[in-house]
Each structure stands twice: as structure tokens, then as C-alpha cells.
């Protein structure tokens, strides 16, 4: 008996995707996660452009995690030209990332994921019965937006984020406002953690053989190394030697593996890895939860997101304190082009992100390579879908589709 399941248009995910599942005689025959997005040729359109144009162009890869793309490309440019930024610029960048995570994770949690668990088609529909819950999502998102607008210049695609730092920096008053906002959002974030801890996550424990994230002192830092859960640590220069990208014959996203295996990235991989290094304030919340970390249930990526925004908001408050004391400070260091190749690795909200550029001696881009979380997630989502289907053969088509969608949304590829 042959059973075919097709989800032709995944909804409530950024981008366009489809899933095809074929089961024959109770055996899983085929699983394909297809990204059907049109290509945008970033590795080609950056060529011949001056280094100063690069962050602006690649920012447009994603409107939700543009800060990460802008920073990863700026880090790569600085790496190529041997530029070192000041500790204040580094802190301001981290504060910007706090904004990005608040907005991206809140969008994900409340607008993309939560409707599934609450039984609604969208957050907008949910707002009729749960106006305060939806407002909470909007509020956390708004605080993130304000930070991005303040530091970046616009909420989406802020042009003030450049190689070498920022053309202008926030005033002491602005930083105090950010601090107040972060204090005000803390109770909402804690409520978010409780809400996501209380949801009914289907039992789904198929340990991830390999997990990956940036290696640094804390999850907000931009390290130069990447760590794998099997103990391997590799440098950003070695990234392409570990993460192997293949062009897929059914998806427009490339598909990555490490040592021929799918690997987990993103909030769950990060919280699993950084659990011991979280701030005391975050750890205290973690003790109160009924779920625990490290976890191998991919759906717990949602709870991990809620924990990350608490961690980041707390770190954001510390950062504003340091910056207020350091004010006024310079936002920019000079950048002078030279021939060479630079690498930028960063944790984007959805997972590790990699940018590499080579420049000629006038600072014009000769070649580029960008490895996005989407490409790296394709294989691990397919692996998860496989194990989901194998466990839920009794489920009706309708039910199976629903579970598959929930799983994919937990990754938000």
C-alpha cells in the first residue's frame, strides 16, 4: 500500500517551502523538504562591488535576521583588512544583537509557532480570544525593534551598521531608555518562558548525533571558532572544510552536512551547549521549569528561544550600563582596504552563519561564499521528519501533516 503526503506550501515560516513524504508498505520510502524560493545570486551580485557596499547588499538575504548578515559580513571585511574595533563598538554590536534576538524570537514564538499549540490559524486570529498574550508578543518584538532602530538607523535593514562600526552612536539618554525598556520587558519574557514550558510538546526524543555552534565565552559573543558536540573545535578559516555544501536536485537551498552527517544548529543547540555559562538570573528561571536542558526534543527549540531572550535581555542591561559609563565613545575605527580574504562567523537567531569574501587591493570583491542557516538546516529537518513519520505511522494524514508542520516551524528554516 502506498501513501503519499504532500504539503505544497508551508505557512508561517519565513520563505517558501514544501514537503513530500512517500510511505510504501508501512515503510518510509522518501522524504523531501523542498525550498522553492527563487535564487537571489548574492555570491554573484557582490562581485566587483566595493567592500563598503557588501553589508548593505547581503543584509537583504533575510529581513528577520538582517543584523546577523550585516555583522557577519562586516566582521569578514574587517578580518580581510586587519581592522580591530574598540571594546565599545563590540559592545554596541552585542546590544544590537540583543535587539535582533528579541524581535526575531518574539516573532517566531508568538506569530509563527504559538498558534499551533493554541489551535489557531494565526496570532491575528488568536488575538480575539487571547488579546493580552498576542500583545505580549508585540511588546517584546517592539522592544527589539526599538533597539535595532536606535543603533542601526531603521528597524529593518539599518544602514548604520558598517565595517569598522557605526557612523553614529546612541546618546546616554537613549541608552538609559533601552535599559528601562529591557527592565520593563523582563516580566513579559519570564511569562513567555512559563507559557512555552507549559505547552504540550509531543514526545520526540531522537538524540542529535551532531550539534554545532560558535565557540565563545557567552552566547552573545562573535567567536573565531566553532564547536561540535563530538568535541571537535574548528576555526572560521576551516569552516568550509567541515561544513560541506551540496547543491540539491529538488530544493533551491543547498544542503549541508558535517562528516556526512546532518547537524543541529540554532537555539536548541546553543542552549544545550551554553547551559552552564548562562547568567545566574537565567539559571534561576531554568530551575523552575518542568522541561530541562540539554534536551534532544527538537520541538524544545521554542522553549530554548524563550530562554535565550531572557539571557540576552539580562546581558543587554549589563551592556547598557557599561556603555553609559563609557559615553561618549567613538563609534567607528578607520577601514583601509587591502588585498585578502576575510571570514565572518556568527550565531544568527536560527543558527550559525558564515560569510567569506576575497578582495583585490582596491577593496573590490572578487569572490564570496555565504552559508546560511537554511542550507544547514535542510538535512537535519529531513532527518527529524523521517523519525517523526516512523513514529507516527498510525496517525491520520491530517494529523501527520500537522505534526510535520509543527516540527518544521520549530526550526523556522
Partner 1 sequence: MVKIGIMGLTGCSGCQCEILNCEEAIYRLIEKVEISYFPLAQDNNSFGEFEILFVEGSVTTEEDERKVKEGRERAKFLVAVGSCACYGGVQSQRNDEASLEEMLLAVYGRKELPVKVQKPRAVSEVVKVDYELPGCPLDKRQFVYAVASILNGVKPFFPKIPVCHECKLSETECLTLKGIPCQGPVTFAGCGAPCTASGVGCQGCRGNCDFPNFEEMVEILKKNGLSTGDAVKFLKVFRGYQSKEIKLSEGVVENEKGA
The binding site for partner 1 (CB under 8 A) comprises 9, 11-16, 34, 36-45, 47-50, 53, 56-57, 60-64, 66, 107, 111-112, 115, 121-125, 127, 138, 141-142, 145, 149, 153-160, 162, 166-168, 247-252, 254, 405
CB of 405 vs partner 1, minimal distance in Å = 8
- Which residues, including other chains, have CB under 8 Å from residue 339's CB and lie 6 or more apart? 359, 360, 361
The answer to whether 161 touches 67, Cβ cutoff 8 Å, is yes
Q: Pick one of ligand SF4, partner 1, none as the site partner of residue 247 (Cβ within 5 to 8 A by kind).
A: partner 1
User: Among 16, 47, 49, 60, which residue interacts with ligand SF4 (rule: CB under 6 A)?
Assistant: 60
- Which residues, including other chains, have CB under 8 Å from residue 385's CB and lie 6 or more apart? 19, 21, 31, 33, 404, 407, 408
Distance CA 212, CA 141 (A): 27
Query: What DSSP assignment string belongs to 342-357?
Result: EEEEEEETTEEEEEEE
Which residues on neighbouring strands pair with residue 76, listed in sequence order? Answer: none
Residue 171 neighbours by CB distance under 10 Å: 13
CB of 63 vs ligand SF4, minimal distance in Å = 5
User: Taking CB under 6 A as the rule, does residue 63 contact ligand SF4?
Assistant: yes
Q: Pick one of ligand SF4, partner 1, none as the site partner of residue 124 (Cβ within 5 to 8 A by kind).
A: partner 1
Which residues on neighbouring strands pair with residue 100, listed in sequence order? Answer: none
Residue placing its CB nearer to partner 1 in the complex, 7 or 98: 7
Residue placing its CB nearer to ligand SF4 in the complex, 48 or 159: 159
User: Taking CB under 6 A as the rule, does residue 16 contact ligand SF4?
Assistant: no
Residue placing its CB nearer to ligand SF4 in the complex, 63 or 202: 63
Pairing relation of β-strands 365-371 and 165-166?
Answer: unpaired
Cα 227 to chain centroid, rounded? 16
Q: Pick one of ligand SF4, partner 1, none as the site partner of residue 306 (Cβ within 5 to 8 A by kind).
A: none
The binding site comprises 43, 62, 65, 370
Residues within the interface to ligand SF4 (CB under 6 A): 60, 63, 159
Amino acid at each position: 500500500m502506498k501513501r503519499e503526503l504532500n504539503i505544497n506550501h508551508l505557512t508561517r515560516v519565513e520563505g517558501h517551502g514544501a514537503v513530500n513524504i512517500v510511505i510504501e508498505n508501512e515503510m518510509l520510502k522518501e522524504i523531501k523538504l523542498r525550498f522553492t524560493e527563487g535564487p537571489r545570486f548574492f555570491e554573484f551580485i557582490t562581485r566587483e562591488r566595493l567592500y563598503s557596499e557588501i553589508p548593505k547588499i547581503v543584509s537583504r538575504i533575510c529581513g528577520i535576521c538582517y543584523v546577523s548578515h550585516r555583522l557577519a559580513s562586516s566582521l569578514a571585511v574587517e578580518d580581510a583588512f586587519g581592522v580591530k574595533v574598540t571594546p565599545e563598538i563590540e559592545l554596541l554590536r552585542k546590544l544590537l544583537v540583543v535587539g535582533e534576538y528579541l524581535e526575531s524570537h518574539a516573532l517566531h514564538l508568538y506569530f509563527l509557532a504559538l498558534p499551533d499549540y493554541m489551535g489557531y490559524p494565526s496570532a491575528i486570529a488568536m488575538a480575539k480570544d487571547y488579546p493580552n498574550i498576542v500583545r505580549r508578543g508585540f511588546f517584546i518584538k517592539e522592544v527589539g525593534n526599538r533597539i535595532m532602530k536606535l543603533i542601526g538607523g531603521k528597524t529593518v535593514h539599518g544602514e548604520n551598521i558598517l565595517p569598522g562600526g557605526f557612523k553614529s552612536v546612541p546618546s546616554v539618554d537613549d541608552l538609559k531608555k533601552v535599559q528601562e525598556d529591557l527592565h520593563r520587558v523582563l516580566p513579559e519574557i519570564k511569562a513567555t518562558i512559563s507559557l512555552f514550558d507549559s505547552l504540550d510538546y509531543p514526545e520526540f526524543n531522537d538524540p542529535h548525533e551532531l550539534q554545532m555552534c560558535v565557540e565563545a565565552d557567552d552566547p552573545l559573543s562573535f567567536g573565531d571558532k566553532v564547536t561540535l558536540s563530538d568535541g571537535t573545535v574548528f576555526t572560521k578559516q576551516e569552516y568550509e572544510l567541515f561544513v560541506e555544501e551540496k547543491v540539491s536536485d529538488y530544493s533551491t537551498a543547498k544542503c549541508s552536512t558535517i562528516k556526512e552527517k546532518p547537524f543541529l544548529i540554532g537555539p536548541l543547540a546553543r542552549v544545550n551547549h551554553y547551559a552552564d555559562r548562562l547568567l545566574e538570573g537565567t539559571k534561576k528561571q531554568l530551575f523552575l521549569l518542568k522541561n530541562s536542558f540539554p534536551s534532544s526534543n527538537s520541538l524544545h527549540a521554542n522553549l530554548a528561544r524563550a530562554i535565550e531572550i531572557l539571557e540576552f535581555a539580562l546581558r543587554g542591561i549589563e551592556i547598557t550600563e557599561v556603555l553609559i559609563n563609557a559615553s561618549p565613545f567613538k563609534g567607528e575605527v578607520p577601514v583601509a582596504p587591502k588585498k585578502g580574504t576575510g571570514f565572518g562567523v556568527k550565531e544568527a537567531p536560527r543558527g550559525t552563519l558564515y560569510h567569506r569574501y576575497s578582495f583585490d587591493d582596491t577593496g573590490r570583491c572578487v569572490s564570496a561564499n555565504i552559508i546560511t542557516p537554511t542550507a544547514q538546516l535542510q538535512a537535519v529537518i529531513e532527518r527529524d521528519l523521517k523519525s517523526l513519520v516512523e513514529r507516527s505511522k498510525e496517525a491520520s494524514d491530517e494529523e501527520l501533516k500537522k505534526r510535520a508542520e509543527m516540527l518544521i516551524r520549530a526550526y523556522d528554516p
